[in-house]
């Protein structure tokens, strides 16, 4: 094997094993390719994403500027992309495409080629590499990487340069696939179990009984009137209202340092972890602020459902429970039972937010805007002193 080729393959393998970020990976690869006589001035790399927020990402690299990452949300139409050559390659499963830009362009050529020609590029070659990973949401039916490589060298790419570039771009696609897998695992786990829980799972908390004892402020929020609403409304309207309501609650929780742990029908269980380097009072204030903001956002959205919120604090077991093969990353403990029993009292007392005495004690004295509601009986548990705002 050509020492230049074997050296670049070894570089790619090491970069992949180290999990080099995409921007650094492409920058390093382009530097290595140029050092070996393939003059590359511009690169575009695009992959689909398995992420609740984005459908795809791309990186554009230019010799003098380095790489720039861009993401594309679900539901957002990018006409220029859809009408471009890379999208065509995905739709038609075309593996390689080349356009010598120094030659005259045809009237029906892609608009991209005229743009690149005007910028002084002389040659363009693109590759599509499938990951052999089916994904129904992706155009073409599967995950993969498309890439375009441009040069300003008036001579364009020689056959020898293309023979060198092709196999190495394929190896680059394998390295990018490993990044996509890790990124997908992180985003999917964060979406389904929460960011902190997802990171713990990726670090090895994958066995039943793998739990951590910790202190946390707990929030249990419930949409009132949902059962009747869902019985009277079409399913599309019900789902839209539920999701928009959860958007309000989620934005408030995450904006104040909390994390949604799970959705329970029309309810939300969230945690604000203590002993994480933040002052207990600040965490407690964050939880109260999240409750108030959730109520405010829901009112501003003029949604038909109301929200009851209970806040409590205590020690919890945070980790995996379930069967040997089907696990749930959650919190269990007396405090969890108490906050779940506290929330139904919102309706009985006519209070949209209830705060336990234990949590009230964590709030800074000058920040307490609490109204005592006296001891209240929690179903199946001891009485608890409760406060409203």
- Write the DSSP string, 185-217: HHHHHHHHH-HHHHHHHHTT--STT-EEEEEEE
For the chain, state the CA radius of gyration: 27
- Residues whose CB falls within 8 Å of the CB of residue 21, separated by 6 or more in sequence, listed in order: 179
**E strand residue ranges, the chain:** 42-48, 54-62, 66-73, 96-99, 123-134, 142-151, 211-224, 259-264, 267-273, 306-322, 327-332, 353-356, 371-376, 384-388
What band does 337 get if pLDDT is binned at 50, 70 and 90?
Answer: very high
The DSSP symbol for 378 reads P
Q: What is the mean pLDDT of residues 304-308?
A: 91
Can you name the CATH fold of 3-192? Beta-Lactamase (3.30.450)
The candidate with the shortest Cα–Cα distance to 119, out of 81, 178, 63, is 63
Lowest mean pLDDT among 95-104, 137-146, 289-298: 137-146
For residues 35 and 246, give the distance between their C-alpha atoms in angstroms, rounded to a whole number: 52
* CA distances in angstroms from 155 to 32, 122, 329, listed in the order given: 21, 7, 59
> CA 106, 112, 118, 119 torsion: positive or negative?
negative
* pLDDT score recorded for residue 26: 94
Q: What is the reported pLDDT for 159?
A: 94
Query: Which strands sit side by side in the sheet containing 66-73, from one edge to the other?
Result: 66-73, 54-62, 42-48, 142-151, 123-134, 96-99
- 4, 66, 151, 162, 268 from 32: Cα distances, Å: 10, 14, 15, 15, 50
**Domain ranges for the chain:** 3-192, 201-388
Q: Please say if the pLDDT value at position 345 is more than 50.
A: yes
pLDDT at 208: 80
Q: What is the pLDDT of residue 209?
A: 75
Separation of alpha carbons 292 and 388, rounded Å: 12
For residue 2, give the 3-state DSSP assignment: coil
What pTM was computed for the model? 0.77
> Please, are residues 311 and 353 in contact by the beta-carbon 8 Å criterion?
yes
For 375, phi then psi, to 5°, come to: -70, 140
Cβ burial of 295 (10 Å; 0-12, 13-18, 19+) is buried
Average pLDDT over residues 74-96: 86
Residue 1 has pLDDT above 80, yes or no: no
DSSP label of 365: G
Per-residue pLDDT at 335 exceeds 50: yes
Cβ proximity of 90 and 146 under 8 Å: yes
Per-residue pLDDT of 2-54, as tens digits, reads 655 568 999 999 999 998 999 999 999 999 999 988 899 999 999 988 888 88
CATH of domain 201-388: 3.30.70.1230
Which residues does 40 contact at the CB level (< 8 Å), separation at least 6?
30, 33, 34, 63, 149, 150, 151
State residue 5's pLDDT score.
Answer: 57
Burial state string for 304-315 with b = 16 or more CB within 10 A and e = fewer than 16: ebbbbbbbbbbe
Do 201-388 and 3-192 fall under one CATH topology? no
Q: What is the average per-residue pLDDT within 75-104?
A: 89
pLDDT at residue 299, rounded to an integer:
92
d(CA 288, CA 298): 16
What is residue 11's predicted lDDT score, i.e. its pLDDT?
A: 93
- 175-211 pLDDT per residue, tens: 999 999 888 888 888 888 778 777 877 777 777 877 8
Separation of alpha carbons 139 and 144, rounded Å: 10
74: number of CA atoms within 13 Å, CB side? 8
**Mean pLDDT of the region 157-166:** 94
Residue 276: the pLDDT is 80
- Report the C-alpha gap between 73 and 51 in whole angstroms: 9
Average pLDDT, the chain: 89
The predicted structure's pLDDT at residue 6: 66
Question: What does the pLDDT look like over 213-269, one tens digit per residue?
Answer: 889 999 999 999 888 999 899 999 999 999 999 999 999 999 999 999 889 889 999
């Amino acid at each position: 094997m050509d020492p230049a080729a074997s050296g670049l393959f070894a570089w790619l393998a090491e970069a992949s094993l180290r999990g080099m970020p995409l921007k650094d990976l492409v920058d390093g690869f382009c530097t290595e390719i140029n050092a070996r006589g393939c003059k590359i001035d511009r690169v575009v790399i695009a992959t689909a994403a398995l992420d609740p927020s984005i459908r795809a990402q791309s990186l554009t690299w230019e010799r003098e500027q380095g790489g720039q990452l861009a993401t594309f949300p679900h539901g957002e139409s990018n006409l220029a992309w859809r009408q471009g050559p890379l999208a065509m390659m995905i739709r038609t499963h075309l593996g390689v495409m080349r356009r010598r830009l120094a030659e005259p362009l045809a009237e029906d050529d892609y608009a991209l080629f005229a743009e690149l020609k005007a910028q002084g590029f002389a040659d363009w070659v693109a590759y599509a590499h499938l990951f052999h990973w089916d994904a129904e949401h992706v155009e073409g039916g599967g995950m993969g990487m498309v890439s375009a490589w441009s040069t300003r060298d008036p001579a364009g790419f020689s056959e020898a340069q293309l023979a060198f570039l092709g196999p190495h771009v394929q190896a680059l696609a394998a390295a990018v696939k490993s990044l996509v897998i890790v990124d997908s695992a992180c985003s999917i786990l964060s979406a389904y179990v929460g960011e902190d829980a997802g990171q713990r799972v990726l670090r090895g908390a994958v066995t039943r009984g793998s739990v951590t004892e910790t202190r946390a402020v707990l929030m249990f929020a419930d949409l009132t009137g949902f059962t009747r609403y869902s019985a009277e409304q079409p399913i599309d309207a019900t789902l839209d209202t539920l999701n928009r309501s959860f958007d309000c609650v989620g934005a408030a929780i995450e904006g104040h340092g909390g994390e949604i742990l799970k959705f329970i029908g029309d309810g939300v269980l969230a945690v604000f972890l203590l002993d994480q380097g933040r002052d207990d009072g600040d965490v407690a204030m964050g939880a109260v602020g999240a409750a108030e903001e959730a109520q405010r956002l829901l009112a501003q959205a003029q949604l038909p459902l109301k929200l009851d919120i209970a806040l409590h604090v205590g020690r919890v077991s945070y980790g995996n429970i379930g069967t040997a093969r089907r696990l749930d990353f959650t919190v269990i403990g007396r405090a969890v039972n108490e906050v779940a029993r506290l929330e139904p009292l919102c309706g009985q007392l006519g209070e949209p937010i209830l705060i336990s005495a234990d949590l009230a004690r964590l709030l800074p004295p000058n920040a307490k805007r609490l109204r005592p509601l006296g001891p209240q009986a929690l179903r199946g548990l001891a009485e608890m002193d409760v406060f409203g705002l």
